[in-house]
Chains A and B, each alone.
Chain A
Amino acid sequence: MSIELWTEKYRPRTLDEVVDHEEVISRLKRFVEERNIPHLLFVGPAGVGKTTTILALAQDLYGPGYMNFILELNASDERGINVIREKVKFFARTAPMRSEVPFKILIMDEADSLTAAAQHALRRTMERYTKTCRFCLIGNYSENIIEPIQSRCSVFRFGHLSERDIRERIRYIANCEGVKLLESGLDAILEASRGDLRKAINILQTAAASKGGYVDEDVVFSVLGRVSPKEVRQMLLLSLEGRFLEAREALRRLLLEEGLAGEDILRQIYSQVLRLQIPESWKVRLSEMIGEIDYRLTQGARPEIQLGALLAKLALAGEEMRR
């Protein structure tokens, strides 16, 4: 069956195809040539090719059967370090068969969501199996990775993709798929995706799926309207209008029915605030409020109460603004 989601369909299969990150890629290629890699730590923002790069490296290194030599774990989905350890052990115990490379690769994505204690346990596991298994840890910020792991890994930093590269890649995909992509549509995609190629591709595909047969600015905006949860914007507006109870109902829907994490809702509130038609000085104040709650979310136990407190502050701000 053909691959239906374009982010997967156009995921580079070799290091050569990876867009941008020349410096990183060339260093990694050297590892592949030498048939030896150290433990790796990839850090950088979302959707810039961290996961892609390690998967491509594996394909370059092992060839078509690469799936037999790698194990992908996602720390934010695994439960308990012992379960992880068990999986790692089972995988890493044996050297790869029928391969001239003497080690396997274990990919631990979103490793920065592991607690420090779990990371220490992971570090011990890394050491024990170094002979037969190399680890590639992936995360957004290196600050969230404990020092002893950082010092055992070669750290690779992935920056945001350049506007030019995203433009080119999106155009390329549109061409391959026969999408009529107008310049204004491309601009809008770029503006919305802010250096995140995964997002750009998802927007493109959704826009191309709509009926018109072409993708221009309006089509992109209507996609953005549909995906950037309307509800978040609505919730924001409701609370600024002082309709707290309705805003709280919307919040519950987002948390419970859409299953969104508190942090993710907050991030969207933030980006909606930036788009509000209000004086700059108010934007600063709202940003400060959001920042405070963002921190409290990490300290508290009930996301709904934390976000509820934000809604109440926004309601107050809304009233002051109207005065």
Chain B
Amino acid sequence: MRDEERPWSERFRPRTLREVVDNREALRRFLAWVRSWRGGPPRRRSAFLYGPPGVGKTSAVEAVANDLGFDLIEVNASDYRTAKRIETILGRASSQIRTLFGRRRMILFDEVEGLSGQEDRGGVGAILSLIRGTASPIVLVATGSPEMWEDRLSPLMRVSELIEFRPIPFQDVVERLREICREVGVEAEEEALELIAERSNGDLRSAVNDLEAVARGRGTLTWEDVYWLGDRDRKGEISEVLRGIFSSKSFDEAREVLRESPIRYEELLEWIYENLPYFYDDPQDLAEAMDALSRADIYERRARETQEYRLLKYMFDAMVAEVALARKGSRGRGLIQEVRRALLSLGLPPSDLLIREGREGVIVKPTRWMGKDWQPLNSLLRELGGRWIREEGCWVVPYFRPPGRIRHLRRSWWSRRRLEDLARRVGEKCHVSTRTALREFIPYIRAIFKENRRLGVSIARWLELEEDTIRWLMEG
């Protein structure tokens, strides 16, 4: 296959350790462990790499094998269901140190979290005895959070060098996406990449996949493209559903709307929560509807935790039917009022702008050359989810706002990172958890920085904060 044809997550997979993004500490420890095999088998003959998906665990193993000249023997999950199969596949490989060509071997069991239940007892046991007798390094890789599998796998964890991989930090995901765009020749808005990164939750593989899904074969990429992930139909569908909910008059009518909705219910809950206040301007209605959403959130968690998905219907009733019925005295007509209010706040004469309701959303069209007024207007309308359509010379603000959390996260990632650093250091020095640090120490430290910078800096030095964090504190 030509390089261009391969999926991006393959094409941009690291080949050497230098190309692996982040998790330096884990990589360092893993490398040290592999090196420790030089003088014969070390005390721990297996390494257990674990962490969330898509953070480079398998890539790291492959890269290290590559860099240090090991032949990597990958055993597939389906192959080690039973002890027998493992023995036939690996029996010889593990007891011979070198291959025919004199290269050393490394054995990789990927996705060991798949070992489950009774029939795999043999699996875990066989891997254990393999580890005891092996002459080659054995690497086990498990994905997902430890609570999911640690009961089953603890015999393996106990004998292994435990190496934890963490989610890839937001900014590094963005950076990596940017590199890929440069390489494939896509011109992407910064916001677009940030949105992909935010959604990935530190899973670099899924971020690269998402990027490919929206950007392959294109020259440019915008925030909107990403938001709808290449599926513009959904945008119309969500609007339909929301319109339906906010205008239903009866329980059945509202439930009917949902029955036809193609949207994931978790997502729909967030959309309703976001847009509700623009339609429910009577405090009584709003309080009732929000109360229904709060219960919907609880019902959903119950369904998930008990795995009794029939319980979800109560969530639907609450978030759709109850919300619809709560609307009594409200007059709100959605974002159009908000757009008017926002424009007013800029102090422009009303005749400067033509506002009307279009098919896709509120249309705001300047009636004159805006000059330096364009910029503030643009950022205001963007805040409301709108965007400038160059060909038409107007802004379109969709009738419904995407869940605001996403926009907020984008703005706040830098301060969140600084806070994390600060909270961790305070936690270590003052014998408290990061949560307690955030609550009980950090407000005081910030206040001290404002009042008395010299003292602030000496506290910061004592805490051994990163320079970036100190600068952030100084800026208030």
Contact = CB atoms under 8 A, between A and B. Distances in A.
Interface of A: 1-5, 7-8, 46-47, 51, 55, 72, 74-77, 79-83, 85-86, 89, 109-110, 198-199, 202-203, 205-206, 209-211, 223, 226-229, 242, 244-245, 248, 252-253, 256-261, 264, 293, 296, 299-302, 304-306, 308-309, 311-313, 315-316, 318-319
B438 A259 contact: yes
Interface in B145-176: 145-147, 150, 154, 157-158, 162, 164
A96 to B, nearest CB: 21
Which 7 pairs show the lowest CB-CB distances between chains A and B?
A: A80-B146, A309-B294, A312-B290, A227-B443, A4-B462, A82-B150, A316-B287
B259 interface: no
B405 interface: yes
B447 interface: yes
25 contacts: A4-B458, A5-B429, A5-B459, A8-B429, A55-B431, A74-B433, A75-B433, A76-B435, A76-B436, A79-B146, A80-B145, A81-B150, A205-B444, A256-B412, A256-B416, A257-B416, A258-B419, A296-B298, A300-B301, A301-B304, A302-B269, A304-B405, A305-B297, A309-B291, A309-B294
Given A77-B433, A80-B145, A202 B150 contact: no
A312 B150 CA distance: 42
Contacts of B392: none
Contacts of A89: 158
A248 B286 CA distance: 13
Nearest to A247: B277
Contacts, number: 186
A308 B237 CA distance: 26
Interface residues of B, number: 67
Contacts of A2: 462
B291 A313 contact: yes
B428 to A, nearest CB: 9
B409 to A, nearest CB: 6
B150 A309 contact: no
B82 to A, nearest CB: 25
B434 interface: yes
A3 B429 CA distance: 10
B232 interface: no
Contacts of A248: 277
Given A7-B430, A305-B273, A306-B294, A1 B441 contact: no
B3 interface: no
A252 B146 contact: no
A8 B437 CA distance: 13
B55 to A, nearest CB: 14
A253 B124 CA distance: 47
Contacts of B427: 74, 77
A259 B277 contact: no
Contacts of A109: 431-433
A230 B16 CA distance: 50
Contact of A86 (B157, B269, B297): B157
Given A198-B440, A256-B412, A305 B269 contact: yes
A1 B432 contact: no
Nearest to B272: A305
B439 interface: yes
Contacts of B301: 299-301
Dominant SS among interface residues on chain B: helix
Q: Please indicate which of the listed interface residues B278, B286, B459 has the most CB atoms of chain A within 10 Å of its own CB.
A: B286
A203 B269 CA distance: 41
B293 interface: yes
Contacts of B164: 83
A309 B298 CA distance: 12
B184 interface: no
Interface stretch (B209-217, B306-314, B449-457): B449-457
A316 B300 contact: no
B191 interface: no
A162 to B, nearest CB: 21
B393 interface: no
Nearest to B455: A209
A319 B443 CA distance: 32
Contacts of B420: 259
Contacts of A199: 440
B297 A293 contact: no
Contact of B286 (A76, A258, A312): A312
Contacts of A293: 294
Nearest to B419: A259
A301 B461 contact: no
A316 B286 contact: yes
Contacts of B304: 301
Nearest to A319: B283
Nearest to A315: B283
Given A4-B462, A7-B430, A316-B283, A226 B435 contact: no
Q: Please indicate which of the listed interface residues B408, B412, B419, B431 has the most CB atoms of chain A within 10 Å of its own CB.
A: B431
Nearest to A252: B408
Contacts of A227: 443-444, 447
Contact of A313 (B290, B408, B450): B290
Interface string B283-325: 1101101110111011011101000000000000000000000
Contact of B150 (A80, A210, A299): A80
Nearest to B461: A1
Contacts of A76: 433-436
Nearest to A226: B447
Contacts of A316: 283-284, 286-287
Given A74-B432, A257-B415, 5 more contacts: A82-B146, A109-B432, A209-B451, A301-B297, A302-B297
B423 interface: yes
Q: Please indicate which of the listed interface residues B300, B434, B436, B447 has the most CB atoms of chain A within 10 Å of its own CB.
A: B447
Given A80-B147, A312-B291, A1 B462 contact: yes
B257 interface: no
Contacts of B404: 252
Contact of A202 (B294, B441, B462): B441
Contact of B451 (A79, A85, A206, A312): A206
A222 B290 CA distance: 35
